[in-house]
């Protein structure tokens, strides 16, 4: 195989690669060195292999590495024959250097580095070839293998070690910059993994077990270290890149930095203002600090390194970059809070899921992000070692008798070993130490200005221009008033809508669009989780500081001369406050963004230059806050779009390295909805004053279109709604704080050209080109002309809009009266002619300028006769219907689709609401009402073993087109009996699906869930549903490497059911982009043939299918169209339960109106398939397989007269990737799921008696962390074999009893059924009892463990997630998110981390020890009993949906029996003690009672007593 | 307490005020329909579901923004509702009375429930507007200096006149009759559309600056050449040529006592208005009346004849009786071809379907005294949608008649007038022929001459006439000034700018 490089002409962008992984370290607390530490470090890596991944070459892997102390003795001996001698430890540094393969390049690089050493007055001792065995690595890695050498540098005598480290830093950076700027041909291969006097990094593209085979140094017994910090990478791409392996110079990272773009920009701005006595004049040599082309982790390391080399301790630097959630923390000491507040003025957090292990060679530690989204477990041993890793049990030889402490890293906490001091420094000590470094609170009080929140409304600014005209100038529509502003002002909530977005993309709409409309929000899927901003508001914050930043490398009181805001939304009074600020360090300056209309569009371009210069000038004249204002639009003056102005000024100041010197505030009439605020802050604004929206509200109040429930609340509600929305947008991408969201540019542009993007939104993806500044100006002027017509012929009025629903004079919608009626007529009458008219209507691109595919045309092919094309009956098997839950739509319509799809051999989808097992059996007429695809979504409603076993395909919904990155909510009044039953919940109790899957925070977690589901149904396929956005291709590659059988790319425009309007309109991208990116990246990485690719999103016709296939799809999903065929008329009120045709409703009266018929749906799919066949015949394809991926048969063909669309460029979308040898452009192979190694094969063998005769058996096995998903395959086999289930019965308790000794791997006991008991003696990792379906899990420490069970962690995070029934007894402490979304399991545990019982809807949880923060958030059912010894529980409980009550008679009995059982199974000492003194101890329990649940229980009781009385 | 806006349709049934009882209303020529009490009208608005796709307003030729005005009614903001109505329809008080309401057959609620009372809601808003004095003259801010002549003052001419005047052009309307209004004035009986309602609208136009010249038939009273002095001329003369038995080989069709409906109906309106009837008086009083043609005009003849006190009345229709419910291939939201009973038909008379008139019988004095008819059998529609008819042997009948009113439709505009003088190109349409022009620019074959309404498209509804008047006005405005901010059905105001006037 020849060396393949990714083609850059397609949609692939390395920037969007993600990686995640396993990390760990081992150290001797006293820093004593031994070879054993290295060997153990490598062993940790090997035992984390399953957390990594490999691409098309199974030997290559995604990379791993190890950081060690410099093995001095060994190297001393080694270099002896290199002609130089090493001085003592600390007197020299070692650089580990990757050099180009090309000899000439290599030597040039070495020369430059040598020169850099001399320039810094250090002595070059010599070079050493690192002995390696290239046979140990895969072919792909070998092709890119660098030459690896070590360079030895002697310390100048005048320097101490820290100073020397700083020198080495300068040497490394300056040499890297020089080489980077040189003309050396192989310079891209040059890379320095480490250069330090203390540490050394060995890393590369290999599998863990190849590390010491490749790097012979590592195997050498003479090599010793006191620590070993390791990293195992799982990357979404596969193309070989040695430098991407971790650790970096200081750290290894598991997770993802979401805010990278903003961090990069801000660091870039700041670096000119660095001032450091320590680094001194060398600053020029180290700039630029960051390496924008490298990964998020690498850049984090760069910034971290700067802070450390600039003089901060590693722990201090880490606390700056990954702060705890301090804002709103109930119990954080004030000095610590002040520390964080002070540092927030200097630097925004690097936000995102992160478990970081770091070391400078003296101290070694780990930190966890504020959400605690990555697992980190540690053991402290009797022989003074600390072992920390992503999983427990990574060193199998360490037995329990040698462990004194088993802990986990908690959210926001740090764990540090000071090897110099020889002790563990805990989080409290660490942080109180640096909180006391300076009187931060005093500094803040003295210098920081607090924005008052209770300012009286100022007198409104009276503008000369009438409100209506200004509204028109800024493009207000009647819909904006009715559907956006009024609901926000009345309810303080974001408005909701339904049925997706079928309107035109902004660039395709002939109407002038706000610039905002050209942007789409990016969102988290797979590689990082979205956050729930409501239930987990403890981590969220809108607080920001604006003003001039101080020197990042220094620490002076004046650095906090900033204005502190609780939120970036400013009322008029608040803006006035800012405008009037006049004191040292606070100087506002207003820059007007108006331009003269008469001079035409070019004038706006010019004005854009002028405002940038004006801003810079103001700043140089001392302004610390620039206010961009569009006040004063008039007949003669229009405003530059606020986003364009903000972006331009921000980028301009970034380029001038001046951005950190001022705050940017936008006073605008244009911004009015959540997306607008998100964009403005995301592209640089520190705060926004939406004055016209506020003025409009006053007018609406006056006209009684807004009715205030309390007087004076309209503005407040509006701002609150906007703030909530902003939090939602941030949390969608997994960002917690506004401070780091600001400037983070988490958007993709659609339809803007490169010049414009580079100028104002640099770094934003815009992949199909589009309009430029001139056209934007034309849009502004068009709106202006509407407000000021040359000759007014009618009363001025607002535009109708029609963006949210079809309106005759509004935006074009693909679903309109014509298309809906034609489709219904065609399918109900089975009328080909009417279908043709429908298809013509939809396909006619002049009319459907709503989707990108409208601008594509088929090329001329070698036509073949239609008969030669495969029959429609084959094609329809590639069709699926969309995931719509029973609950979101009625049973009638759900079954209608299922029957139709089963008739044609396609697949329908359960959606996320479970499925009644009655549907698993055939009807008398042979129809099957079962959905072939069973969806597994974040709520896990009704996801039982039985559900999974009865599937052909299990779909993991990572995101949905209408609202990617968000959860859902089924209000109690919609949870009817039948719905509650299949969802395993209580009728009338609200159900919440969390935004993330709590067992997927990262790509390796997804691989784990795929593995779990595969175990649960070995006969089914597992698919992963993603939503199109830039980078989805690399995620899909990761999904393919994670062994999914199918990946679904959803378009932004699809979607049924309720969703916030902001999400419907602005989240997600067209599928054309996502699909072709996915196909291209999969093909380039040789991952395409092993996975099926499905696409959906507003699919309507055979032409859509044909284009989907040509762009790379094997299968096609349809949702809206089959619903319309079933009678849907796009009422767009699905969220109101008032569907007048009986589809999106549970109302029994309305359901009667459902008139859909399966045969109509069948007719539809055959029409589509036949239409597709005709196109295939035209193009000359006999089968779909021939057609898939043949983008070369498409061409871009816009309407030349379309004044916007004609600027588009589809060349990257239509880029054709060539298949690798022996591979195909379509799905043709199967994944290797690696199930053969499962422990369950042994269990199944041992349980033969039960499988055959339901006899009981007892089994004993040893377990290790590599035994994942234990008990699952066995349970499913039992379910299948004996037809067990909701209606068909279960096995008696303990029929199979399995004793497991050791450390359980992830997902221990997932989906285990009733009758199966797993008894672990030892401990276990994350996801114990995931989806527990009736089984019993017991976990207790072995007798030899010396620690107190109740104080030590025994199971990992997210145990019992989505459990529907069963029991679990845990003797010890569990990690974060215990029993999240539990709907029926009963469990006892002796302590839990943060977010316990979140979203729980049923079951019982007894906690006999400490709980973390945010307990019971969003809990709507079930009961938790908390042993609240200290009486402090209420502080840590989220009281949003629950009450804390004393135990009553019934609960006392219940709890007691739970504890007795706990003692019986685990011999728990804490439970025993409580029981011994029961009457007294029981008083200390608190009953956590969800209000909703209490209400329903009470109601039920009443009803029951009424029944009793009546009878 | 009114319910949740979203649930009105689940709470209220369709309700329409009882008309005055037939026996009472037959005693006069005044309008006889009543209104519900105000809160009950609002309830009817609550039945509107404010649909995601309001098929109603695609069903409406004007594109009336039906959900929007219903929504405003729910909010009790009638003035704004009227403004919304007026933004698509110059004369909602006309269509609120005489429109067959294709919107209602397209109403989404109509899929499985009785449709929303859209037409009545429209009427209520408009009437309230007039009552409250919200309808005021809107004079243009500036005059363009351009002049436009409009020939004909029916709904198309009136709508165009108002629009063009508002765009700042000076508009002169030529009307050959003594009052403006065309069929609105003398075609539709007063009991369906009170003439005061037409006149007050004309007054508004006059107050806005439109000049009406009545008794001025172009080519007769006004020399055709005079039109040359205008910057544009819009022809809106309607399609007034009645279909008769001429050339159909029906013996006796030229007997006395057989008249086109339009000879008969205007006379009654003149009487109601206290005007003299110059021609021979046609009255149904004490006569056996036969009305041929089952459409709107036929039913107007029925109502008028009954009021005049006819002895008997039979209404004949050539086509078969429509089904009661929609048939499969006429699904929602298409216009429903179902059996409808007009208010006049509720007042009396007998309706007969599938009847072909074979001949008229002479009483010996040249007067008609009876019709000879035969029943028809209609075949299934062929590929072109046409159905073949066949006479059914043995079904021949003789129907006595003293007065026969022909309401068999209108074939085309009168063209042996200034139309031929101007040599305007004609074009075939469904009924006969019209003055040729497309619906984009409405230009005739003659430079700066435009045509709108029935004169172009053939006989149609008032609502279509208003539509064409508005669209043509926009076309004329564009022609005269290069851009137009006049609203039209599908225009959002940006389009002419976006198309032609992009700021460069």
Tell me how close the Cα of B7 comes to any Cα of chain A, in angstroms: 7
Query: In the prediction, which pLDDT does A3 show?
Result: 43
- Residue whose C-alpha is closest to residue B460's, from B23, B81, B98: B98
- Catalytic status, residue A21: yes
Pairing of strands A562-565, A594-596: unpaired
Average pLDDT value for residue range A1349-1371: 96
Cβ-nearest to B498 among A1133, A1155, A1203: A1203
ipTM surpasses 0.85: yes
Q: Which of A21, A27, A345, A1300 is catalytic?
A: A21
* C-alpha distances out from residue B40 to A1135, B117, B319, B324, Å: 28, 12, 39, 28
Q: Are B152 and B435 in contact (CB under 8 A)?
A: no
**B interface test, pick of A793, A841, A1147 with most B CB neighbours within 10 Å:** A793
Q: What is the pLDDT of residues A438-491, one digit of tens each?
A: 999 999 999 999 999 888 877 767 788 889 999 999 999 999 998 999 999 999
**A1462 close to A1369: Cβ distance less than 8 angstroms:** yes
Interchain pair B53, A805: CB under 8 A: yes
Phi and psi for A1237 in degrees, rounded to 5? -80, 0
pLDDT band of A1056, cuts 50, 70, 90: low
pLDDT classification of A1508: cutoffs 50, 70, 90: low
What's the confidence (pLDDT) of residue A54? Answer: 64
Cβ separation of B495 and A813 shorter than 8 Å? no
CB contact under 8 A, B502 and A816: no
Residues A1377-1392: pLDDT tens digits? Answer: 999 999 999 999 999 9
Q: What are phi and psi of A1078, to 5 degrees?
A: -60, -50
pLDDT in tens, A990-1004: 888 899 999 998 888
Q: What is the pLDDT of residue A842?
A: 92
Contact (Cβ atoms closer than 8 angstroms) between residue B104 and residue B52 = no
Q: Which of A579, A745, A740 is nearest to A665 (CA)?
A: A579
**Predicted confidence (pLDDT) per residue in B439-458, tens digit:** 999 999 999 999 999 999 99
DSSP, residue by residue, A525-582: -SSS----TTTTGGG-B--EEEE----TT---GGGG-EEEES-SB--HHHHHHHHH--
Q: Is B130 on the interface with A (CB under 8 A)?
A: no
Classify residue A1267 by its DSSP letter: -
Token couple for A706: 């807004």
Q: What residue has token string 């379309």?
A: A1202
Residue B154 in tokens:
């029916």
Does residue A5 or residue A69 have the better pLDDT?
A69
Cβ atoms of residues B281 and B267 within 8 Å = yes
Cα–Cα dist B287/B258, whole Å: 13
Average pLDDT over residues A88-96: 96
Q: What is the pLDDT of residue A6?
A: 53
Pairwise CB contact (< 8 Å): A511 & B494:
yes
DSSP state of A1291: P
Do residues A325 and A308 touch, judged by C-beta distance below 8 A? no
Q: Are B374 and B354 in contact (CB under 8 A)?
A: no
Q: Is the pLDDT of residue B154 over 90?
A: yes
Query: B101 with B61: CB under 8 angstroms?
Result: no
Contact A791 B167 (CB under 8 A): yes
Close Cβ partners of A378 (under 8 Å, ≥ 6 residues apart): A366, A386, A387, A388, A389, A405, A406, A407, A408, A409, A415
Of residues A145 and A57, which shows the higher confidence score?
A145
Exposure on the CB side of residue A145, measured as CA atoms within 13 A: 20
Please report where in the chains the tokens 């936000």 appear, as a residue.
A351
Looking at residue B494, what is its pLDDT? Answer: 62
Quick check: pTM over 0.90?
yes
Mean pLDDT value across residues A702-710: 86
The per-residue pLDDT for range A593-603, each reduced to its tens digit, is 999 999 999 99
Whether the CB of B144 is below 8 Å from some CB of chain A: the reply is yes
Q: Which DSSP state fits A1095?
A: E
- Hey, which bits of A175-215 come out as E strands? 191-196, 199-204
| CATH 3.50.50.60 intervals, chain B | 147-240+411-498, 245-405
Q: What pLDDT was estimated at residue A1510?
A: 58
Domain B5-132, classified CATH 1.10.1060.10, yes or no: yes
Give the pLDDT mean for A563-587.
Answer: 93
Close Cβ partners of A906 (under 8 Å, ≥ 6 residues apart): A876, A877, A878, A879, A880, A881, A1165
Q: A961 pLDDT exceeds 90?
A: no
Fold of the B147-240+411-498 domain: FAD/NAD(P)-binding domain (3.50.50)
Q: What's the sign of the alpha-carbon dihedral A38, A43, A49, A55?
A: positive
Q: Which of B494, B495, B501, B504 to mutate to test the interface with A (most CBs of A within 10 A)?
A: B494
Q: What mean pLDDT is predicted for residues B447-470?
A: 96
| Interchain proximity A806–B108, CB inside 8 Å | no
Burial A112-135 (b: 16+ CB within 10 A, else e): bbbebbeebebebbebbebebeee
Nearest partner of A1124 among A1155, A1097, A1153, judged by Cα: A1155
pLDDT in tens, B422-438: 999 999 988 889 999 99
Per-residue pLDDT at A494:
84
Examine the pLDDT at A106 and tell me if it is beyond 70: yes
Which residue bears the tokens 């028109």? A472
pLDDT at A4: 52
Say whether residue B7 is in contact with chain A using an 8 A CB cutoff.
yes
**Ranges in chain B annotated CATH 1.10.1060.10:** 5-132
Tell me which residue in A782, A808, A825 faces B494 most closely, judged by beta carbons: A782
Average pLDDT of chain A, as a whole number: 92
From its phi and psi, is residue A1058 left (phi > 0), alpha (psi between -120 and 50) or beta?
A: beta
- H helices of A733-863, where? 738-741, 754-760, 773-787, 817-828, 832-843
Percent of chain A residues past pLDDT 90, beyond the cut:
76
Q: How far apart are CA A403 and CA A1342, in angstroms?
A: 11
* pLDDT score for A271: 87
Ranges of H-type helices in A355-458: 427-435, 440-447
What does the pLDDT average to over B361-384?
92
pLDDT category at A1063 given cuts 50, 70, 90 is confident
Partner-chain contact B87 A797, CB within 8 Å = yes
A954 band by pLDDT with thresholds 50, 70 and 90: very high
Three state DSSP letters for A939-969: CCCCCCHHHHHCCCEEEEECCCCCCCCCCEE
pLDDT in tens, B70-123: 999 998 899 999 999 999 999 999 999 999 999 999 999 999 999 999 999 999
Q: Does A1252 touch chain B (CB under 8 A)?
A: no
Residue A866 has pLDDT above 50, yes or no: yes
Report pLDDT for A583.
86
> How much is the average pLDDT of A913-939?
95
Alpha-carbon Rg for chain B, nearest whole angstrom, is 23
Cβ contacts (< 8 Å) between B138 and chain A: which residues?
A: 794-795
Three-point CA angle A474, A475, A478, nearest 5°: 125
Q: Output the CATH code of domain B245-405.
A: 3.50.50.60
Residue A1 has pLDDT above 60, yes or no: no
Task: Inform me whether the pLDDT recorded for A208 exceeds 70.
Answer: yes
The band of B500, judged by pLDDT with boundaries at 50, 70 and 90, is very low
């Amino acid at each position: 195989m020849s060396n393949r490089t990714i083609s850059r002409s397609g949609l692939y962008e390395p920037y969007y690669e993600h990686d995640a992984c396993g990390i760990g370290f081992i150290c001797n607390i006293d820093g004593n060195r031994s070879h054993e530490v290295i060997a153990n470090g490598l062993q940790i890596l090997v035992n984390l292999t399953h957390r990594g991944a490999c691409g098309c070459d199974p030997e290559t892997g995604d990379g791993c590495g190890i950081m060690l102390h410099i093995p001095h003795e060994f190297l001393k001996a080694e270099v002896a024959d290199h002609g130089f001698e090493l001085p003592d430890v600390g007197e020299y540094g070692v650089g580990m250097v990757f050099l180009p393969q090309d000899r000439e390049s290599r030597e040039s690089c070495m020369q430059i580095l040598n020169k850099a050493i001399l320039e810094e007055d250090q002595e070059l001792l010599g070079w050493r070839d690192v002995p390696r065995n290239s046979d140990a690595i895969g072919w792909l890695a070998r092709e890119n293998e660098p030459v690896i050498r070590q360079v030895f540098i002697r310390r100048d005598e005048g320097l101490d070690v820290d100073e020397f480290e700083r020198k080495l830093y300068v040497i490394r950076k300056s040499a890297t910059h020089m080489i980077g700027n040189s003309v050396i041909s192989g310079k891209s291969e040059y890379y320095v993994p480490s250069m330090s006097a203390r540490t050394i990094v060995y890393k590369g593209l290999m599998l863990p077990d190849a590390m010491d085979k490749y790097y012979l140094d590592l195997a050498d017994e003479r090599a010793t270290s006191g620590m070993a910090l390791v990293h195992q990478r799982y990357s979404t791409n596969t193309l070989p890149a040695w430098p991407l392996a971790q650790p970096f110079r200081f750290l290894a990272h598991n997770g993802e930095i979401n805010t990278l773009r903003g961090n990069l920009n801000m660091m870039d701005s700041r670096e000119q203002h660095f001032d450091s006595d320590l680094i001194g004049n060398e600053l020029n040599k180290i700039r630029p600090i960051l390496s924008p082309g490298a990964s998020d982790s690498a850049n984090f390391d760069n910034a971290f390194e700067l802070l450390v080399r600039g003089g901060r301790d590693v722990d201090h630097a880490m606390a700056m970059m990954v702060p705890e959630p301090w804002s709103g923390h109930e119990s954080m000491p004030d000095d610590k809070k002040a520390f964080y507040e002070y540092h927030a003025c200097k630097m925004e957090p690097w936000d995102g899921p992160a478990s970081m292990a770091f070391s400078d060679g003296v101290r070694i530690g780990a930190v966890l992000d504020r959400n605690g989204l990555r697992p980190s477990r540690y053991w402290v041993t009797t022989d003074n070692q600390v072992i920390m890793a992503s999983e427990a049990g990574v060193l199998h030889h360490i037995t329990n008798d040698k462990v004194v402490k088993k802990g986990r890293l908690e959210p926001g906490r740090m764990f540090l070993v000071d090897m110099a001091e020889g002790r563990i420094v805990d989080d409290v000590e660490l942080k109180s130490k640096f909180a006391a470094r300076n009187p931060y609170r005093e500094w803040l009080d003295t210098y920081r200005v607090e924005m008052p929140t209770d300012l009286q409304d100022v007198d409104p600014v009276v503008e000369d221009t009438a409100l209506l005209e200004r509204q028109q100038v800024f493009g207000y529509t009647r819909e904006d008033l009715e559907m956006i502003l009024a609901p926000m002002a009345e309810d303080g909530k974001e408005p909701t809508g339904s049925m997706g977005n079928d309107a035109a993309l902004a660039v395709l709409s002939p109407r002038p669009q706000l610039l905002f409309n050209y942007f789409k929000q990016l969102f988290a899927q797979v590689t990082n989780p979205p956050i729930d901003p409501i239930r987990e508001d403890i981590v969220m914050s809108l607080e920001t500081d604006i003003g001039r930043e101080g020197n990042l490398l220094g620490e002076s009181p004046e650095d906090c001369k900033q204005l502190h805001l609780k939120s970036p939304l400013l009322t008029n009074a608040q803006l006035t406050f800012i405008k009037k600020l006049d004191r040292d360090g606070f100087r506002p300056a207003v820059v007007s963004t108006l331009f003269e209309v008469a001079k035409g569009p070019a004038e706006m371009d010019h004005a854009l230059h002028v405002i940038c210069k004006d801003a810079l000038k103001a700043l140089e004249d001392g302004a610390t806050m620039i206010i961009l204002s569009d006040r004063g639009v008039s007949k003669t003056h229009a405003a530059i779009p606020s986003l364009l102005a903000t972006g331009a000024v921000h980028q301009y100041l970034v380029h001038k390295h001046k951005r950190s010197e001022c705050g940017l505030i936008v006073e605008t009439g244009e911004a009015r909805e959540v997306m607008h605020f998100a964009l403005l802050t995301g592209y640089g604004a520190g705060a926004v004053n939406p004055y016209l929206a506020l003025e409009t509200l006053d007018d609406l109040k006056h006209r009684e279109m807004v009715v205030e429930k309390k007087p004076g609340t309209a503005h407040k509600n509006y701002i609150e709604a906007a703030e909530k929305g902003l939090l939602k947008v941030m949390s969608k991408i997994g960002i917690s704080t506004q401070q780091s969201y600001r400037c983070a540019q988490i958007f993709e542009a659609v339809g803007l050209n490169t010049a414009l993007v580079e100028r104002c939104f640099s770094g934003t993806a815009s992949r199909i080109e589009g309009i430029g500044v001139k056209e934007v100006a034309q849009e502004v002027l068009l709106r202006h002309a509407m407000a000021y017509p040359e000759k007014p012929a009618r009363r001025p009025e607002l535009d109708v809009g029609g963006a949210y629903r079809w309106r005759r004079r509004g935006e074009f919608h693909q679903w309109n009266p014509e298309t809906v009626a034609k489709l219904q007529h065609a399918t109900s009458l089975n009328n080909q002619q009417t279908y043709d008219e429908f298809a013509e209507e939809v396909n006619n691109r002049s009319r459907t300028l709503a989707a990108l595919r409208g601008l594509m045309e088929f090329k001329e092919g070698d036509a073949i006769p239609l008969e030669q094309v495969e029959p429609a009956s084959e094609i329809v098997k590639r069709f699926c219907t969309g995931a719509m839950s029973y609950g979101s739509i009625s049973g009638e319509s759900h079954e209608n689709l299922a029957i139709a799809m089963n008739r044609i051999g396609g697949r329908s989808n359960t959606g996320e609401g479970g499925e009644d097992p009655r549907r698993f059996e055939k009807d008398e007429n042979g129809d099957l009402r079962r959905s072939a695809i069973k969806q597994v979504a974040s709520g896990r409603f009704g996801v039982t073993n039985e559900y999974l076993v009865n599937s052909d395909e299990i779909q993991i919904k990572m995101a949905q087109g209408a609202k990617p990155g968000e959860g859902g909510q089924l209000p109690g009044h919609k949870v009817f009996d039948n719905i509650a039953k299949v969802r395993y919940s209580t009728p009338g109790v609200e159900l919440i699906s969390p935004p993330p899957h709590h067992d997927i925070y990262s790509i390796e977690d997804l691989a784990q869930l795929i593995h779990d589901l595969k175990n649960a149904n070995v006969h089914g396929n597992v698919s992963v549903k993603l939503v199109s956005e830039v980078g989805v291709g690399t995620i899909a590659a990761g999904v393919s490497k994670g062994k999914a059988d199918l990946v679904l790319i959803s378009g932004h425009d699809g979607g049924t059911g309720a969703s916030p309007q902001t999400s419907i309109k602005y989240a997600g991208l067209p599928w054309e982009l996502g699909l072709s990116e996915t196909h291209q990246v999969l093909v380039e990485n040789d991952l395409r043939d092993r996975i099926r690719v499905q696409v959906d999103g507003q699919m309507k016709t055979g032409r859509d299918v044909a284009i989907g296939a040509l762009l790379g799809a094997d299968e096609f999903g349809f949702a809206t169209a089959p619903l319309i065929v079933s009678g849907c008329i796009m009422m767009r009120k699905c969220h109101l339960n008032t569907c007048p045709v009986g589809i999106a409703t549970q109302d029994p009266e309305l359901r009667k109106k459902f008139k859909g018929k399966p045969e109509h749906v069948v007719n539809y799919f055959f029409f589509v398939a036949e239409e597709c066949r005709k196109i295939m015949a035209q193009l000359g394809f006999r089968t779909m397989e021939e057609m898939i991926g043949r983008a070369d048969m498409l061409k871009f063909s816009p309407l030349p007269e379309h004044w916007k669309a004609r600027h588009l460029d589809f060349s990257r979308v239509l880029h054709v990737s060539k298949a690798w040898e022996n591979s195909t452009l379509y799905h043709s192979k199967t994944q290797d799921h690696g199930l053969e190694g499962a422990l369950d094969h042994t269990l199944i063998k041992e349980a033969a008696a039960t499988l055959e005769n339901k006899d009981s058996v007892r089994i004993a096995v040893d377990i290790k962390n590599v035994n994942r998903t234990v008990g699952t395959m066995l349970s499913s086999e039992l379910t299948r074999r004996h037809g067990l289930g909701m209606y068909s019965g279960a096995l008696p308790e303990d029929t199979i009893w399995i004793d497991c000794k050791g450390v359980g791997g992830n997902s221990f006991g997932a989906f285990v059924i009733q009758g199966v008991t797993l008894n672990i003696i030892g401990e276990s990792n994350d996801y114990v009892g995931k989806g527990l379906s009736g089984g019993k899990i017991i976990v207790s420490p072995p007798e030899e463990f010396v620690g107190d069970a109740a104080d030590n962690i025994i199971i990992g995070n997210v145990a019992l997630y989505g459990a529907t029934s069963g029991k679990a007894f845990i003797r010890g402490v569990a990690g974060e998110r215990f029993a999240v979304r539990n709907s029926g399991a009963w469990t006892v545990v002796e302590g839990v981390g943060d977010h316990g019982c979140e979203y729980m809807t049923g079951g019982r949880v007894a906690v006999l020890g400490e709980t973390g923060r945010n307990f019971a958030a969003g809990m709507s059912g079930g009961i938790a009993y908390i042993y609240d010894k200290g009486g402090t529980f209420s502080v840590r409980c989220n009281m949003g949906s629950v009450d804390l009550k004393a135990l009553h008679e019934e609960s006392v009995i219940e709890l007691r029996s739970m504890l007795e059982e706990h003692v019986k199974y685990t011999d728990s000492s804490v439970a025993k003690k409580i029981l011994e003194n029961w009457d007294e101890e029981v008083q200390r329990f608190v009953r956590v009672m969800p209000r909703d649940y209490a209400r329903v229980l009470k109601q039920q009781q009443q009803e029951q007593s009424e029944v009793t009385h009546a009878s | 307490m009114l319910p949740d806006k979203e649930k009105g349709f689940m709470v209220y049934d369709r309700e329409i005020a009882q008309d005055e009882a037939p026996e009472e209303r037959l005693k006069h020529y005044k309008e006889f329909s009543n209104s519900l009490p105000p809160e009950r009208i609002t309830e009817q608005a609550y039945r509107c579901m404010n649909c995601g796709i309001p098929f109603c307003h695609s069903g409406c030729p004007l594109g009336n923004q039906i959900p929007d005005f219903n929504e405003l009614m729910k909010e009790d903001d009638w003035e704004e509702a009227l403004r919304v109505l007026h933004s698509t329809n110059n004369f909602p008080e006309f269509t609120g009375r005489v429109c067959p309401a294709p919107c209602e057959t397209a109403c989404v609620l109509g899929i499985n429930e009785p449709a929303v009372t859209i037409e009545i809601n429209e009427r209520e808003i408009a009437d309230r507007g007039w009552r409250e004095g919200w309808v005021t003259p809107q004079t243009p801010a500036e005059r363009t200096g351009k002049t436009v002549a409009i020939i004909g003052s029916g709904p198309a001419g009136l709508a165009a006149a108002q629009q063009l005047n508002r765009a700042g052009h000076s508009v002169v309307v030529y009307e050959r009759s003594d009052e403006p209004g065309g069929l609105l004035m003398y075609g539709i009986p007063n009991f369906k559309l009170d003439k005061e309602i037409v006149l007050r609208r004309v007054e508004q136009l006059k107050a806005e600056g439109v000049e009406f010249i009545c008794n001025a038939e172009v080519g007769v009273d006004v020399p055709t050449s005079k039109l040359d002095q205008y910057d544009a001329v819009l022809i809106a003369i309607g399609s007034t040529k009645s279909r008769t038995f001429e050339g159909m080989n029906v013996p006796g069709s030229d007997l006395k006592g057989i008249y086109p409906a339009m000879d008969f109906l205007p006379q009654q309106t003149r009487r109601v208005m206290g005007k003299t009837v110059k021609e021979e008086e046609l009255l149904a009083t004490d006569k056996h009346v036969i009305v041929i043609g089952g459409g709107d005009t036929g039913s107007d003849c029925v109502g008028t004849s009954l009021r005049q006190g006819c002895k008997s009345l039979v209404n004949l229709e050539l086509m078969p009786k429509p089904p009661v419910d929609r048939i499969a291939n006429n699904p929602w939201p298409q216009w429903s071809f179902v059996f409808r009973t007009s208010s006049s038909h509720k007042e009396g008379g007998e309706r007969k379907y599938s009847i072909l008139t074979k001949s008229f019988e002479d009483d010996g004095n040249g007067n008609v005294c009876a019709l000879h008819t035969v029943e028809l059998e209609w075949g299934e529609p062929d590929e072109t949608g046409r159905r073949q008819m066949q006479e059914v042997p043995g079904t021949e009948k003789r129907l006595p008649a003293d007065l026969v009113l022909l309401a068999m439709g209108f074939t085309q505009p009168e063209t042996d007038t200034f139309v031929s003088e101007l040599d305007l190109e004609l074009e075939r349409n469904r009924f006969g022929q019209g003055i040729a022009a497309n619906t984009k620019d409405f230009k005739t074959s003659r430079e700066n001459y435009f045509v709108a309404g029935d004169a172009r498209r053939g006989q149609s509804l008032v609502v279509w006439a208003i539509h064409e008047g508005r669209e043509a006005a926009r076309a004329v405005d564009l022609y005269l000034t290069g851009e137009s901010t006049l609203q039209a059905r599908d225009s959002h105001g940006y389009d002419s700018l976006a198309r032609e006037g992009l700021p460069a």
